[in-house]
């Protein structure tokens, strides 16, 4: 089973953020917008926190995000301690399943995948003042969700 995932969310600029994913077999890079899915970062952290909780009743989550006009779904499916991350791209906001394209997939241990996300969120947190995160992302840094996520990951 592949197990190495690298996640990069670069400092936002003018409401846009460059993101990247690299696994053992796939690689995917794009830019994403802060709107209309303005809760994308907090929701991502909430999903990752839930995935770390083995007592969670949910094992499947979908996060919506966009580049404008393209839309993305980050699809997470947990099976015991394994996690499948798939990223689907849609040509527009209609999100027609027949028109989507899987642009990235990675399977690994849930904790390892969450730690890969933690590395990039830790960097965003450390650079938030220098990079004027709130001004450049046009959204506040998700402090509460970040704190819950880091606590859940530390408990592992």
Answer yes or no: is pLDDT of 2 > 60.
no
The helix or strand, by DSSP H or E, that contains position 137, with its residue range, turns out to be helix 133-137
- DSSP assignment of 111-123: HHHHHHHHHHHHH
Could you report the per-residue pLDDT of 96-132, keeping only the tens digit for each? 889 999 999 999 999 999 999 999 999 999 999 999 9
Give the CATH number, domain containing residue 123. Answer: 3.30.2450
| Residue 1 maps to a domain | no
Could you report the per-residue pLDDT of 8-62, keeping only the tens digit for each? 999 999 999 999 999 988 999 999 999 999 999 999 999 999 999 866 678 999 9
**DSSP-based three-state secondary structure for 104:** strand
| Residue 92 maps to a domain | yes
Answer yes or no: is pLDDT of 76 > 60.
yes
| Residue 52 maps to a domain | yes
d(Cα 44, Cα 145) in Å, to the nearest integer? 9
**DSSP-based three-state secondary structure for 8:** strand
Question: Quick one: tokens of 2?
Answer: 């592949």
Q: 22: domain range?
A: 6-154
Q: How many structural domains compose the chain?
A: 1
CA atoms within 13 A on the CB side of 126: 8
């Amino acid at each position: 089973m592949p197990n190495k995932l690298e996640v990069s969310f670069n400092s936002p600029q003018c409401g846009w953020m460059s993101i990247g994913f690299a696994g053992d077999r796939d690689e995917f890079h794009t830019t994403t917008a802060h709107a209309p899915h303005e809760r994308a970062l907090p929701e991502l952290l909430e999903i990752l926190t839930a995935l770390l909780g083995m007592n969670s009743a949910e094992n499947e989550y979908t996060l919506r995000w966009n580049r404008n006009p393209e839309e993305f779904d980050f699809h997470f499916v947990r099976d015991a301690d394994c996690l499948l991350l798939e990223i689907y791209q849609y040509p527009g906001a209609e999100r027609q399943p027949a028109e989507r394209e899987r642009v990235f997939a990675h399977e690994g241990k849930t904790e390892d995948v969450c730690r890969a996300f933690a590395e990039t969120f830790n960097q965003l947190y450390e650079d938030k003042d220098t990079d004027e995160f709130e001004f450049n992302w046009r959204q506040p840094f998700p402090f509460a969700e970040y704190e819950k996520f880091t606590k859940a990951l530390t408990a592992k």
